[in-house]
Amino acid sequence: MKARITVLPGDGVGPEVTSEAVACLASVAERFGHQFTFQEALIGGAAVDATGDPLPEATLDLCRSADAVLLGAVGGPAWDGHARDQRPESGLLRLRKGLGLFANLRPVTVHPALEDASPLKAEVVRGTDLMFVRELSGGLYFGEPRSYSDQAAVNTLPYTRAEIERVARVAFELAGSRRRNLVSVDKANVLETSRLWRQVVNDLAPSYPEVKVQHHYVDSFAMALITRPRDFDVVLTENLFGDILSDEAAVLAGSLGMLPSASLGGSVGLYEPIHGSAPDIAGQDVANPIGTILSAAMLLRHALNLKDEALALEQAVHRVVKAGHGTGDLRGGAKYIHGTRFMGARIREAIRPPRATAPRLVDSAYSFCGSPEGHRSQL
C-alpha cells in the first residue's frame, strides 16, 4: 500500500528518536512491499525559533493531508519564559485539538527482560499489561476561563456529557477486546466534573455487559497502580489525571523511554512517545528510541490497518530487548548498554514476518480505530 506520513521531530531528543522510528517504518515498508513517503514539518520550540509560531499553519495542513502523523517531543528550557501561546507545548495541544484527537491510548507493558530495570520489586511489576485511555481534548488543559497575573491565576475543569461519553466508549470497547476489566479514575468525592464523569460511565455500562466496571479515586488509584498493577486492564481518565498517572506507570515498565501512544478520534491519528524532549541528554545519541518505535508500530496498526507489519515491528523490539540490549535508562535491566542509533539498527535487523503465536507486546487489535474509515463510521 501507499501511505503518506507526516513527521514532526520537534525539540530535544525528538529528532534522534523519530529518525530511528522513521528508519524502522522504511524497513517495514521495504520488507512488506509498501510505499511510505515521509514529509517533515516544524513544531514546538523549533517552529517558534523558525517562524514565531509553535504550530505553523503549514504544519497543520501537512498533518491534515497525511495518513498519519509521527511526533518526537516538544519543549525545553530555552522557551520556558515565553508567553503561553509562544510555548512549544501549546503547539502540541493545538495540534491535538486541531486534529480532533480526544482519545489517547497509552499501553504499558513490562518486558520480562526488564523486570529489574524498575525500582519496584520484580514480583510486583511482572506481567503488567495496562491500557490507559486518557481524554485528550478537554478538561483543565483547554478549559475557559483561564487567566494569569502575578496575584491570581485561574484554570477551569469543564467536561460535557458528550465529551465524556465518546472517550468512555473507546475505553469500554478496548476493555471488551482485552480482559474486560475497566477502571474509571476520578475525584468524585470533591469535583463536580468527576461526579458527571462517574455518572456517564455508569450510564454506559449496561451497553457493555461483558465489561466489569470499577471506579477509583485518583489518589488511591495512584497508589494501587504501583502496588498491584496486575489487577488492572483498561484505565479511563480525564486529561490531567491521565498525564500524571501514565508517567507514574512508566516506573513499572522500567523507563519512560519505553512507552508509546496513539491519539485517535479524528480522521488523522497522532503517534508519539509519552516522554518529553529530555533536553539534558539531547544530541548525545543516548536517548531510548523504543517509545517512538513502538508508537510507529501503533501507527501501522491503527492508521494503516497493517496488523502483521505492526506485530513484526513489535516483535523486533521484543527480541532485541529479550537479548539484553537497551539504552542507559534501562540500566539494571538491560545487560548491554548502547546508543540510540545502535538500538535502532539492531531493531531494524530483527524485523521479520511475525509469528502467529508470539506474545502481544503492545496493544490489542482495536476495531474501533482499525482504519481511518473505521474512525469516521463509528464516531
Exactly one of 247, 285, 307, 322 is catalytic; name it: 247
Using the rule CB under 6 A, give the single segment among 88-96, 211-219, 249-257, 320-328 that binds ligand IPM: 88-96
One-letter amino acid for residue 315 of the chain: Q
**Contact criterion met (CB below 8 Å) for 258 and 288:** yes
Q: Is 243 an annotated catalytic residue?
A: yes
238: contact with ligand IPM by CB under 6 A:
no
Task: Identify whether the C-beta of residue 303 lies closer than 8 Å to the C-beta of residue 68.
Answer: yes
- Determine the Cα–Cα distance for residues 46 and 231; give it in Å rounded to an integer: 42
The C-alpha atoms of residue 243 and residue 136 are separated, in whole angstroms, by 9
Among 11, 53, 89, 135, binds ligand IPM (CB under 6 A): 89
CB-closest chain residue to Mn ion: 243
Nearer to ligand IPM, 10 or 176 (CB): 10
92's contact among Mn ion, ligand IPM, none, with CB below 5 to 8 A by partner kind, is: ligand IPM
Identify residue 359 by its one-letter amino acid code.
Answer: P
**Comparison of 136 and 320: residue with beta carbon closer to Mn ion:** 136
Question: Residue 221: which H helix or E strand, with range?
Answer: helix 218-227
Options 11, 53, 186, 187, the catalytic residue:
187
Rounded to 5 degrees, φ, ψ at 121 are: -65, 140
Among 28-36, 89-97, 252-260, 304-312, the segment contacting ligand IPM (CB under 6 A): 89-97
Cell matching residue 253: 515498565
Q: What cell was used for 108? A: 504499558
- Residue 232: which of 361, 314, 110, 103 has the closest Cα? 110
Provide, rounded to whole angstroms, the least separation between the CB of residue 287 and ligand IPM: 16
Set 11, 141, 208, 329: catalytic member:
141
- CB-count burial class (<10 Å; 0-12, 13-18, 19+) for 355: exposed
Q: Using alpha carbons, select from 272, 260, 258 the residue that is nearest to residue 7.
A: 272
For ligand IPM, the closer CB: 262 or 300: 262
Q: Which residue has the cell 514476518?
A: 353
**Which positions from 238 to 277 touch Mn ion by CB under 5 A, shown as an x/- string?**
-----x----------------------------------
CB of 89 to ligand IPM, least distance (A): 4
Active-site annotation holds for 187: yes
Q: CB–CB of 37/6 below 8 Å?
A: no
Residue 247 annotated as catalytic = yes
Smallest distance, Mn ion to C-beta of residue 275, A: 8
Nine-digit cell string for 140: 483543565
Out of 7, 24, 29, 92, name the contact with ligand IPM by CB under 6 A: 92
329 as an active site residue: the answer is: no
Site for ligand IPM in 148-207 (CB under 6 A): none
Cα dist from 267 to 25, 193, 372, whole Å:
21, 28, 6
List the catalytic residue out of 243, 271, 363, 366: 243
Q: How many residues does the chain have?
A: 379
Residue 75 interacts with ligand IPM (CB under 6 A): yes or no = yes
**Residue 137 or 194 with smaller CB distance to ligand IPM:** 137
Interface residues toward Mn ion, by CB under 5 A? 243
Interface residues toward ligand IPM, by CB under 6 A? 74-75, 89, 92-93, 243, 274, 276
Q: Which residues are catalytic?
A: 141, 187, 219, 243, 247
